[in-house]
Chains A and B, each alone.
Chain A
């Protein structure tokens, strides 16, 4: 089934891409079917929790590489959320984009593939599968954030998001490998709780990965910038999907690594800091969408904090807030998108009188906002109650710190929610009413559905809590006793909640009137600068390493050979005593001829003379092969020498007759390095000879037997080449072909020089 649904997504993406230019309605319908199918499957799994749903496709047996999917209760809940919200987003996008919109096909296709990546991520049971889909969400979200590719800001924001989440992906891979080492299995469902140094390292790495994906401080800088994306993207990525990936990771590994202090302390610290910083960021914004973006950062911190605590109650609260947040945040983003489309601005200073001109939208915003603030009668209320109870249920110092953080964070959440709702729908600064264009059903209905779900989820608290309890119990077995309660009565947590709402509302109302305007882009600028400087550094290194001087390249290689061969000097000196000068006079003569010709090659002034001297070197070496009795080598060497001579004739005809004049010092340097290199090679050869003479008998006999048996030929060399070691030969001929392509390219410089150098836009271009 998982494979079928993923396949359905791919087909839907291709179909939407192909159909969008012909029939918009059909393309939207097709793109909505795939996530709807996923939602139905998630719902079926939630209604029938006794059946285990898992499937695997093994790709490489021995390495356990393959796709392993398992629909755990939490995965089922998330599948429902991803699928259902995905369907609503597609419908919403239909209303959001202009008619006609040339990029709609690309948008729907990317969104569908992104949805599929997200589903694969939550289903993944093998760490490899998890990593693969994690990276897939990074890449597809990069495409979605940069959807308006003509806009430099969108491109920069997309690049920033990709770099930060991509770096996190690498850390995830490292963390997963350490985790496998610590637990001995690659299946997440089979991992037993573990502690110790390895577990601590894994915990740190995985939390870093989660922090980049889920925009935890200080890696949160990419998220506000990602608001350059079309609003349907923001509504999808920052409610039920993308940013939840890190939270899901924390939730999934918390049963395994929760026993290590590092995991608990680090996740709670990161979570609490992010919750604060995000909420403060939200209060500083005047752009309605950015308020929500920073609010999302804050909520993600809240979630990581809850999963980091690790108690059953906190895990239950975490799952509940996760579900509630997906619903209300998607709705709020949709509201912002509608306001943007209908008024042309998102600046809360310019917006005024919308409560009167857009009453339905205002109602939806109020409902979703109240759910975010944790006020009844909405789903956010029992979720936040559970969180407050979990905090109050802790003991000692932890109760004080965690409880204080959650309460303070909640106060700020109520404050920025008030700031948002009053700012967008309240009166404008100068009291004028904004002109509003007529509404579209496709923009309003999805948000209205989400607002209704928030209400219904609160009314039928028993039905809502079943899947949440089950999902929490899958993470922490003790969590199965907890329930969402829509009206708890006069408990301690309830009074705390009332206080939170009152204080937060006063704070938010005051903030909404204040004149302060602070751009919170310092972190983003720092991230961009770091990236730009990396590129500058890379360019500098490339310029230094690839300077284009052939003699210097050759000298560098020779120098490295000389330097490396120092390690052979000692064994060479030991071996030299056992050596004979030459096996025969002919061998000695040929060796001397080789050396003389090589020396002559460096001394002649004319190029053709040097080529001829090189030919003599080759022939003398051929002669040595003859003396050694290696006819195959002789034949090949002779033929190669012949072809090379013809090549030299052709090539040298185009160059000057003599070598260019060079300075005496330069010549000395070259001679010195060449001498050192030659000495090094000689030392290495002598050392090898010494080692070989003391080693066991050469493997010739085995090779002969193999050649006749396996290859059915008597020429061992060729049988080895074409049969016994045919894979090596295959690799070599591919290398040969690639080298030939390189020669052609070098011979035709005009074909390979790009017309204009490619470089990213500069800061000035972006500002313009």
Chain B
């Protein structure tokens, strides 16, 4: 097993998870004007996944579906403008007033960034899955060259 069976680690990771998700969401939306963005948000979520895996709260799965979804989202954002007569990857910006939040501004770039998030999370999930599969024993390395 790649997890450690420690109640302290488990409780700590459990407590950190919602905070980390909020941080990720913040980074995602802040990215347009301040440090952050899809890649950073995805990494935070990926770090959460890693921690939960170590704590035994999460069983990694093959993230190829998440990555495929991410690529499809990004590809759709890239191709739809071309399909409706614009240039490839033409981005649209929306701005308006929302209750409580005040003036907000977003655009198709945010959806594109969402694709990046999906791919990064899928990547981390895949790597965890590849590193930590229990049914396959990785032979200890005994020499420099095969």
Which residues in A have some Cβ–Cβ distance to B below 8 Å? 547-549, 551-552, 631-632, 634-636, 639-640, 642-643, 646-647, 649-651, 653-656, 660, 662, 666, 710-715, 717-719, 721-723, 726-727, 729-730, 733-734, 736-737, 739-741, 743-750
Output the nearest chain A residue to B42 by Cβ-Cβ distance: A639
Closest to A714 in B: B33
Chain B 121-146: CB-based contact to A (< 8 A → 1; otherwise 0)? 01110111111110010101111111
Known contacts A733-B116, A734-B71, A747-B133, A650 near B128 by CB under 8 Å? yes
Return the chain B residue nearest A652 by Cβ: B131
Select which of A547, A727, A730, A744 is within 8 A of B130 by beta carbon.
A744
- Given A636-B39, A660-B142, A740 contacting B71 (CB threshold 8 A): no
B33 and A715 contacting across the interface, CB-CB below 8 Å: yes
Contact A726 B91 (CB under 8 A): yes
Residues of A with C-beta under 8 A to B107:
712
Q: Whole-angstrom distance between the alpha carbons of A639 and B35 in the complex?
A: 12
Bound together, the chains give a CA A736 to CA B130 distance in angstroms of: 15
Cβ contacts A to B, 17 pairs, < 8 Å? A634-B35, A635-B27, A636-B40, A643-B124, A650-B53, A655-B140, A662-B144, A714-B32, A715-B33, A730-B78, A733-B71, A733-B74, A740-B63, A744-B64, A744-B129, A746-B130, A747-B130
Q: How far is the CB of B90 from chain A (nearest CB, A)?
A: 9
Q: How far is the CA of A288 from the CA of B120 in the complex (A)?
A: 66
Q: A660-B143, A722-B109, A722-B112 are in contact. Are A743 and B127 (CB under 8 A)?
A: yes
Query: Assuming A643-B124, A656-B140, is B2 touching A719 (CB within 8 A)?
Result: no
Q: Is the CB of A639 within 8 A of B44?
A: yes
Q: B105: CB under 8 A from chain A?
A: yes
Q: Which of B35, B109, B119, B133 contacts A632 (CB 8 A)?
A: B35
Residues in A with CB closer than 8 Å to B132 are: 650
| Contact present for A737 and B141 (CB under 8 Å) | no
Report the Cα distance A40→B47, complex, angstroms.
Answer: 69
- Chain B nearest Cβ from A21, distance in angstroms: 36
Chain B residues near A733 (CB, 8 Å)? 70-71, 74, 115-116, 119
Q: How many A-B residue pairs have CB under 8 A?
A: 175
* Cβ contact within 8 Å between B113 and A748: no
Which residues does chain B contribute within 8 Å of A722, judged by CB atoms? Answer: 37-38, 91, 109-110, 112-113, 116
- Partner pick for B47 among A548, A549, A642, A660, CB 8 A cutoff: A642
Task: Looking at the assembled complex, report how far the CB atom of A277 sits from the nearest CB atom of chain B, in whole angstroms.
Answer: 52
Given contacts A552-B145, A733-B71, A715 and B47 within 8 Å (CB-CB): no
Minimal Cβ-Cβ distance residue in B for A630 = B35
- Cβ B144 vs Cβ A727 within 8 A: no
| Inter-chain pairs besides A639-B43, A730-B78, A730-B89, 7 sampled, C-beta below 8 Å | A649-B54, A650-B128, A711-B109, A718-B32, A733-B119, A736-B123, A737-B67
Nearest 10 pairs of A and B residues by beta carbon: A747-B130, A549-B145, A646-B50, A639-B43, A713-B32, A740-B123, A744-B130, A712-B93, A714-B33, A737-B67
Residues of A within 8 A of B62 (CB): 744
Contacts A631-B35, A650-B54, A722-B113: A712 and B105 contacting too (C-beta < 8 A)?
yes
- Residues of chain B whose beta carbon lies under 8 Å from any beta carbon of chain A: 2, 27, 31-40, 43-44, 46-47, 50-51, 53-54, 62-64, 67-68, 70-71, 74-75, 78, 88-89, 91, 93, 95, 105, 107, 109-110, 112-113, 115-116, 119-120, 122-124, 126-133, 136, 138, 140-146
Measured in the bound complex, the distance between the Cα atoms of B27 and A656 in whole Å is 38
Q: Which B residues touch A656, using CB under 8 A?
A: 140-141
Is B40 touching A650 in the complex (CB atoms < 8 A)? no
* Chain A positions within 8 Å of B136 at CB level: 748-750
Give CA–CA (A717, B113) in the complex, Å: 13
- B46 near A643 with CB under 8 A, answer yes
Complex contacts, A719 vs chain B, CB 8 Å: 32, 109
Task: Chain A residues near B145: list those with CB within 8 A.
Answer: 547-549, 551-552
A744 touches B46 (CB 8 A): no
Task: List chain A residues, Cβ under 8 A from B120.
Answer: 736
For the complex formed, measure the closest distance between the CB of B76 and the CB atoms of chain A, giving whole angstroms: 11
Task: Select the residue from A551, A635, A748 with max chain B CB neighbours within 10 A.
Answer: A635
B35/A715 in contact, CB under 8 A: yes
Chain A hits for B68, CB < 8 A: 737
Contact B144 A646 (CB under 8 A): no
8 Å CB contact of A718 from B36, B70, B78: B36
**Given B89, B119, B126, B141, which contacts A726 in the complex, CB threshold below 8 Å?**
B89
**A548-B145, A549-B144, A730-B78 known; A737 and B40 CB under 8 Å?**
no
A748 touches B47 (CB 8 A): no
- Quick one: given A548-B146, A655-B140, A726-B109, are A737 and B123 in contact (CB under 8 Å)? yes
Please report the C-alpha to C-alpha distance between residue A647 and residue B37 in the assembled complex, in whole angstroms. 22
Contacting pair B70 A650 (CB below 8 A): no
Q: A660, A714, A718, A727: which has the most chain B beta carbons within 10 Å?
A: A718
A721 touches B144 (CB 8 A): no
| Cβ B37 vs Cβ A721 within 8 A | yes
| Shortest Cβ gap from B93 to chain A (Å) | 4
Q: List B contacts of A721 (CB < 8 A).
A: 37, 39
Q: Do the beta carbons of B43 and A747 come within 8 Å of each other?
A: no
Q: Given the complex, which residues of B lie within 8 Å of A636, measured CB to CB?
A: 39-40, 43
- Cβ contact within 8 Å between A723 and B109: yes
Contact A744 B126 (CB under 8 A): yes
Contact A723 B144 (CB under 8 A): no
**Chain B's nearest CB lies how many Å from the CB of A696?**
28
A664 to chain B, nearest CB (A): 13
Cβ distance A707 to chain B, nearest Cβ, rounded Å: 10
How long is the Cα–Cα vector from A409 to B132 in the complex, in angstroms? 74
Q: Are A737 and B71 in contact (CB under 8 A)?
A: yes
**Closest chain A CB from B109 CB (angstroms):** 4
CA distance A320 to B43 in the complex (A): 73
Give CA–CA (A6, B62) in the complex, Å: 44
Whether B32 lies near A650 (C-beta < 8 A) is no
- Neighbouring B residues of A654 by C-beta, 8 Å: 2, 131, 138
Q: How far is the CB of A622 from chain B (nearest CB, A)?
A: 13
**Does B144 contact A730, Cβ atoms closer than 8 Å?**
no
B26 to chain A, nearest CB (A): 12
Q: Of A727, A740, A749, which one neighbours B126 at CB under 8 angstroms?
A: A740
B46 engages A711 (CB within 8 Å): no
Residues of A close to B91: CB separation below 8 A: 710-711, 722-723, 726
A727 touches B78 (CB 8 A): yes
B47 and A639 form a contact (CB under 8 A): yes
- The distance from the CB of B9 to the nearest CB of chain A, in whole angstroms, is 11
Instruction: Known contacts A718-B32, A744-B130; decide if A643 and B47 are in contact (CB<8 Å).
Output: yes
A602 to chain B, nearest CB (A): 15
Q: How far is the CA of A269 from the CA of B67 in the complex (A)?
A: 60
Q: Is the CB of B47 within 8 A of A646?
A: yes
Specify which chain A residues have a CB less than 8 angstroms from the CB of B33 in the assembled complex.
713-715
Interchain nearest-CB distance for A551 vs B (Å) = 5
Question: Bound complex: CA of A352 vs CA of B136, how far in Å?
Answer: 69
State in angstroms the CA–CA spacing of A707 and B51 once bound together: 36
> B41 — nearest CB in chain A belongs to which residue?
A639
CB closest chain-A residue, reference B2: A650
State how many angstroms separate the Cβ of B78 from the closest Cβ of chain A. Answer: 6
A113 to chain B, nearest CB (A): 30
CA distance A587 to B138 in the complex (A): 42
Out of A551, A643, A715, which one reaches B34, CB within 8 Å? A715
Residue of B nearest to A648 (CB): B131
CA–CA, A639 and B39, complex, Å: 10
Bound CA–CA A636/B109 (angstroms): 19
A126–B15 alpha-carbon span in the complex (Å):
68
Residues of the A chain whose Cβ atoms lie less than 8 Å from the Cβ of B131 = 647, 650-651, 654, 747
Q: Are B119 and A650 in contact (CB under 8 A)?
A: no
Given contacts A636-B43, A737-B119, A748-B136, contact A715 B141 (CB under 8 A): no
When C-beta atoms are compared, the residue in chain B nearest to A744 turns out to be B130
Q: How far is the CB of A546 from chain B (nearest CB, A)?
A: 11
A740 lies within 8 A of B122 (CB): yes
Report which of B54, B113, B119, B141 forms a contact with A736, defined as CB distance below 8 A: B119
Residues of A within 8 A of B27 (CB): 635
